[in-house]
Amino acid sequence: MEEFLRSFEGKKVDIYCGAGSFFSGRLEDTAGAVICLTDSDDRKIHIAADKVIAVRESFEAQSRPGFIA
């Protein structure tokens, strides 16, 4: 799992750990058994790699200014 997570380093990812535990941020490092993310507020998040159930690269929706009818 750790080797797989290293392929996402430097990218924005969404990580699901089960039971409503969902984390999003830029994957900074996968040191040992810990995943280090930085969220949009520049806060660090540390996750145990063995608790990860699913991971995906984040999708950033394009902003379209204007009115919604």
Number of domains the chain contains: 1
Quick: pLDDT tens for 26-67.
999 998 889 999 998 999 999 999 999 999 999 876 666 766
Residue 17: CATH number of its domain? 2.30.30.100
Does some domain include residue 66?
Answer: no
- What's the domain range around 21? 2-57
Beta-ladder partners of 47: 35
What is the model's pLDDT at position 64?
Answer: 63
Tokens 């990860």 locate to 52
| Structure-block tokens of residue 12 | 């924005």
The closest alpha carbon to 36, from 68, 2, 67, 69, belongs to: 2
**Helix/strand/coil for 51:** helix
- Is 26 among the domain residues? yes
pTM of this structure? 0.77
